[in-house]
Chains A and B, each alone.
Chain A
Amino acid sequence: MTPRIQALRAATLAAVPRISIERARIVTATAKSAAYQQASIPMRRALVFKELMETKQLHLGEGELIVGERGPAPAAVPTYPEVCVHTAEDFAVLDSREKIPYRVDEETRRIHLEDIRPFWSGLSQRERMFRELPPEWHQAYEAGIFTEFQEQRGPGHTVLGDIIYQKGFLDLKLEIRDAIAALRFESDPLAYDKREQLRAMDLCADALIRYAQRHAERLDELAAAETGAERAAELRTMAAVCRKVPANAPETFHEALQYYWFVHIGVITELNPWDSFNPGRLDQHLWPFYQQGLERGDLTEDQARELLQAFWVKFHNHPAPPKVGVTAQESGTYTDFALINVGGVKPDGSDAVNDLTYIILDVIEEMRLLQPSSMVQVSKKNPDRLLRRVGRIVRTGFGQPSIFNTDAIIQELIRQGKSLEDARRGGCSGCVESGAFGREAYFLSGYFNLPKVLDLTLHDGFDTRTGQQLGPHTGEPREFRSFDDLFAAFEQQLKYFIDIKIRGNNLIETMFGKYLPAPFLSLVIDDCIANGRDYHQGGARYNTTYIQGVGLGTVTDGLASIQHHIYQNAGCSWEDLLAALDADFTGHEDLLRRFLDETPKYGNDDDRADALVPRIFDSFWGMIDGRPNVRGGTHRVDMLPTTCHVYFGKVTGALPDGKRAGETVSEGISPVQGADRCGPTAVLNSAAKFDHIKTGGTLLNQKLTPQLLADDEGLRHFTHLVRGYFSKDAHHIQFNVVTRETLLAALAHPEKHRDLIVRVAGYSDYFVNLTPELQQEIIRRTEQEAF
């Protein structure tokens, strides 16, 4: 690492996240202007974007190679009042909470309360949708049956394809001009809407070009004032890069990275989409620029590394927008989930691994930063040495990169109707979510609490925690003559809440399309320009809405326990079981012990439990998959939790797998924490017993001891373990390589373990930043030893 990168890395690690009011002020002032009031809604959004790009403060840090910050300084995080207008209490919580705080100074608080909040109160997207959503939706949401991704943030999970490496924004402006010219007002009833949308995109293109020019001008000033000849030359080169991109297509490695970064800033300034934004297949996109640079002699491997490292720092400078309430509980982290993809296959299906793949892996290992997150796509066509290289990084214990099965991702995307080539250009974003990069708007809509549905089923739809009849009456359990009767009641409850969730999704997506289009993002996602439609309105080539199932392990073990103890062994009556649950097992310790120790558990390759997994999954999937969304696309299913399994556990009562009220539920498709006792192959076999290809992503966490990966033999076993799992069409696996002793030591002495990074669920985080519940849960996840 060069001294420059060391300094940039130290600075970004030291930056304290704080709220910047600048964006909110610009947005509010613009919204009060006459031009804004007179404009169509897409043009209003474009005017806001233009003002932001033309007037927000620039930050050019010491020694930087890639420029552009969302806020006035690193880790200065804006608010998005048009999406969610924070209360005074929100700010107090953000400023003072122990985990994931954002500092809010007096001036910020004052401006917010005097100027921002009064204007947006009642007009924000959050309030707009909460007014319209039906009472059943609110009831289920507040009881913790599901969460709602779009209540504080814009729809996201968008990954850039290859468009910016081939076209400049001036080229896009020409395409927009042609698209407007082709509109037929006499025959197309949507012609006006399309024209306004296209004009808005055009204005956004100009705004980003201007933003880059402003950087060029500042860089020239800095170069003139710079005393060191080397840095002065560097600053002039950077200015030239900013004049070239995004207006024109890039020709060098540096231009390609800077172009992406300007687009990234544009997307995350326009709105606060989930998972920020993401360059996707970085080793593929940059490979031609790298190769040509080496051939021309104007780029060395070391320069490429340094530019990539500088690029990494830029991601780390941007903590997630502030989240409060349930949204903070479902995703309690500064990470904003940009997930760099390397490896996989080329559009023609051949092995895509190149020299840059390995250089990027070096950068991941050396930078050791939470952001950007990173993953490796592994196809059967990729060599084993790719996995061994990954194993060497994984064993350092920071949870990155996570490992994905390219061949499964491609099958998933093709099943959803993507073309073969679009599928091969795809990958995963966020935690584990498959997408056709550059061409798909795939919105995650919220987590769905499967264990809570079992809880309600056992109480005839009554929620003991909130004391209300939440679900339909599906019968008292003691009247269920067979396990099938119970399962039918479970399915009836499930269907009821999924219908509520989908009704909500359709309403919320309609409102985003109507009131908060994203003309800047639409510029770079195929085929928004060609369709004259916004990204939020179905302008993309593919439009998907996901519901993410949580707690598969817990709900499986709960149902398996009932099947085993009540219907197969008759060792326990419904009266005993329900009495134990209602007492949260207090006074029923013997039954609790039997539930914990003498019950088949998912994760042990034991079909007595595992046979229920495809049954539960297929029910859930069948109720969601293929149902239309409002953007001309369909609903699909993912199985992942972020940190929502902790929140869902808190709002779910005692369950017959031995879960006590409030205890965390299982995460992703991993077994209940500590329930797997037959080693990693048994876990992987259990996890592969339902059809991952029907999903858009599954998440499996596996904890390994460092000894297992200590030598080359261990790395080979690691490779074969992953290959074996992927041979069963499994989607993803990630590893936590850290000893229980280390975690306990970090718990006892957090001050000495500030740098300890662990895998949480689809992303890594600093262990000391996790909530106490999450810390305990990570300690409980079974650590697999070599025997």
Chain B
Amino acid sequence: MVLPTLSAESPRPGNVAVNSPPPSRTGRIFDIKRFSTHDGPGIRSTVFLTGCPLRCAWCHNPEAFVLHGLRDSPGVREVTVPALVRELERDLPYFDRSGGGVTISGGEPLCQPGFVCELLRTCRDRELHTALDTCGLVEPKALIEAAALTDLILYDLKVMDSAAHAAWTGQPNHTILENLQRLNDLEVAVWIRLPLIPGVSDDPRNLDAMIARLAATRFRRVSILPYHRIAEAKYQRLGLPNKLAGVEPPSVERIEDVRARFAAAGFDPHIGR
């Protein structure tokens, strides 16, 4: 088999299904983190895309929405798919040995559906393992299209009560839960990701509701991501109010409680990844 080259050619419209998002050769990213070991299996490079429909109070990447739409703001750059893949492939020797690959994160990557699908398609053509990290509040069509092109979806669930969800993230959660069901009907591998935010997502009622909802799906791997304060400096730098200022990260015991709760319900919980 001849590996497709990474020329700057236009995407292949023939491969795009009817009603798919229009393919886009360029996208906007604000960071690439190499040797990323918490966003899917193995050693990975995670690319962070701008844009997000949510405004989670605990967001660790606020630059995703703050910088979105700003032209030439420092940190954000416009990249083509071939150039981006070429950059991501620099760590191929480590992906190969560790079973790692590329994770597409943000922000919400599917704010740029045409670019994401083109990126996933190119990675698949080049035998790169991909993971797509999504908040779920996305166009169903885009999600289904992306799900067909990626090896793994990292799917965030935060707050099960829709009003509370809206209060903490700015949006209700019914689309997110519907999309979860849509993924359940497909074959793509999905890891559920739970940001464990003290006073927000860690109360037992929320956890039980989540467990009940997930029990009805085929998804069993759950990543528990304990809140940490690394982003505080970003809030200061960007001049944003930090709604969680002063909130302490959950204790080791609390994290273990949550893990045990998921394990007891038959899930495969992991801390931090």
**Chain A residues at the B interface, C-beta cutoff of 8 Å:** 605, 678-682, 685, 708, 713-714, 716-717, 719-721, 723-725, 727-728, 784, 786-787
With A678-B34, A720-B98, A787-B46 known, 8 other A-B pairs at CB within 8 A are A605-B90, A679-B34, A681-B94, A720-B97, A724-B96, A786-B37, A787-B35, A787-B36
A431 to chain B, nearest CB (A): 25
Contact residues, B39-63 vs A (CB, 8 A): 42-43, 46
Which of chain A's residues has its CB closest to B94's CB?
A724
B90 to chain A, nearest CB (A): 6
A257 to chain B, nearest CB (A): 37
Q: State whether the Cβ of B91 lies closer than 8 Å to any Cβ in chain A.
A: yes
B124 to chain A, nearest CB (A): 22
Q: For B46, what are the chain A residues with a Cβ–Cβ distance below 8 Å?
A: 787
Q: How far is the CA of A728 from the CA of B94 in the complex (A)?
A: 11
Q: How far is the CA of A725 from the CA of B36 in the complex (A)?
A: 16
- Pick the 10 closest A-B CB pairs, nearest first: A720-B98, A724-B93, A724-B94, A679-B35, A720-B97, A679-B34, A681-B91, A787-B36, A723-B97, A681-B35
Q: For A716, what are the chain B residues with a Cβ–Cβ distance below 8 Å?
A: 98
Q: For B93, what are the chain A residues with a Cβ–Cβ distance below 8 Å?
A: 724-725, 727-728
Q: For A708, what are the chain B residues with a Cβ–Cβ distance below 8 Å?
A: 37
Report which of B33, B38, B90, B96 forms a contact with A685, defined as CB distance below 8 A: B90
Report which of B38, B42, B96 forms a contact with A787, defined as CB distance below 8 A: B38
Q: List 9 A-B contacts (CB under 8 A).
A: A605-B90, A679-B34, A682-B90, A685-B91, A717-B35, A717-B98, A720-B94, A720-B100, A724-B43
Asked whether A721 and B43 contact (CB < 8 A) given A681-B94, A727-B93, the answer is: yes
Q: How far is the CA of A678 from the CA of B46 in the complex (A)?
A: 12
Q: How far is the CA of A605 from the CA of B94 in the complex (A)?
A: 14
- B interface majority secondary structure: mixed
Q: For B100, what are the chain A residues with a Cβ–Cβ distance below 8 Å?
A: 720
A784 contacts B42, C-beta separation under 8 Å: no
A720 contacts B42, C-beta separation under 8 Å: yes
**Chain B residues at the A interface, C-beta cutoff of 8 Å:** 33-38, 42-43, 46, 90-91, 93-94, 96-98, 100, 273
Report which of A681, A682, A727 forms a contact with B43, defined as CB distance below 8 A: A681
Which of chain B's residues has its CB closest to A680's CB?
B35
Report which of B33, B37, B90 forms a contact with A717, defined as CB distance below 8 A: B37
Q: How far is the CA of A605 from the CA of B90 in the complex (A)?
A: 8
Q: How far is the CA of A721 from the CA of B96 in the complex (A)?
A: 11
A682 contacts B98, C-beta separation under 8 Å: no
Q: For A784, what are the chain B residues with a Cβ–Cβ distance below 8 Å?
A: 35
Which of chain A's residues has its CB closest to B271's CB?
A711
B18 to chain A, nearest CB (A): 39
A386 to chain B, nearest CB (A): 15
Q: For A786, what are the chain B residues with a Cβ–Cβ distance below 8 Å?
A: 35, 37-38
Which of chain B's residues has its CB closest to A707's CB?
B272
Report which of A681, A714, A717, A727 forms a contact with B34, defined as CB distance below 8 A: A681
A717 contacts B38, C-beta separation under 8 Å: no
Q: How far is the CA of A720 from the CA of B273 in the complex (A)?
A: 18
Asked whether A682 and B34 contact (CB < 8 A) given A720-B42, A721-B43, A787-B46, the answer is: yes
Q: For B33, what are the chain A residues with a Cβ–Cβ distance below 8 Å?
A: 679, 787
A724 contacts B38, C-beta separation under 8 Å: no
Asked whether A724 and B35 contact (CB < 8 A) given A685-B91, A713-B273, A717-B43, the answer is: no
Q: For A679, what are the chain B residues with a Cβ–Cβ distance below 8 Å?
A: 33-35
Q: How far is the CA of A449 from the CA of B48 in the complex (A)?
A: 41
Q: Quick one: which of B33, B42, B43, B93 has the most chain A CB within 10 A?
A: B93
Report which of B37, B97, B273 forms a contact with A724, defined as CB distance below 8 A: B97
Q: For B90, what are the chain A residues with a Cβ–Cβ distance below 8 Å?
A: 605, 681-682, 685
Q: For B37, what are the chain A residues with a Cβ–Cβ distance below 8 Å?
A: 708, 713-714, 717, 786-787
B46 to chain A, nearest CB (A): 7
Q: How far is the CA of A257 from the CA of B36 in the complex (A)?
A: 45
Q: How far is the CA of A667 from the CA of B117 in the complex (A)?
A: 44
A118 to chain B, nearest CB (A): 62
